[in-house]
């Protein structure tokens, strides 16, 4: 059974510092990995999706890397801002078959606080 872990559970950094968020998974046979942001009391917003054949994806100040063989992904947020304060979750999708649906296995999330 796939298990996804995010350590640490919480992180506090001063504004301007780069953020490094970790995600590890036990079964390397994944189809893709997705990073989400969740603000308190809100739904999840997709940040980046990395296919299993890719090594990284970038969007603005965000960069996500994937090392499938070691079961790890890292989300980098450059020059953090107070508006980046939120919980960040990673999720893996095992299969690309239609019958399997788009089922995701989630990590527990890392709660980030960026202090002004």
| Member of 53, 69, 83, 99 binding other proteins (CB under 8 A) | 99
Closest approach of other proteins to the CB of residue 95, in Å: 11
Give Cα separations from 91 to 5, 18, 29, 104 (angstroms).
10, 22, 13, 6
The Cα angle at residue 14 between residues 12 and 56, in degrees rounded to 5: 75
Nearer to other proteins, 43 or 83 (CB): 43
Closest approach of other proteins to the CB of residue 106, in Å: 4
Site for other proteins in 41-60 (CB under 8 A): 42-46, 49
């Amino acid at each position: 059974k796939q298990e996804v872990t995010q350590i640490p559970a919480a992180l506090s950094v001063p504004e301007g510092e780069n953020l490094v968020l970790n995600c590890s998974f036990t079964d390397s046979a994944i189809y893709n990995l997705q990073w989400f942001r969740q603000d308190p009391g809100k739904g999840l917003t997709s940040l980046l999706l990395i296919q299993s054949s890719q090594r990284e994806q970038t969007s603005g100040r965000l960069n996500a890397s994937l090392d499938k063989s070691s079961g790890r992904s890292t989300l980098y947020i450059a020059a953090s801002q107070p508006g980046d304060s939120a919980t960040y979750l990673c999720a893996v999708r095992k299969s690309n078959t239609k019958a399997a649906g788009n089922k995701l296995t989630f990590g527990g999330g890392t709660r980030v606080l960026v202090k002004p």
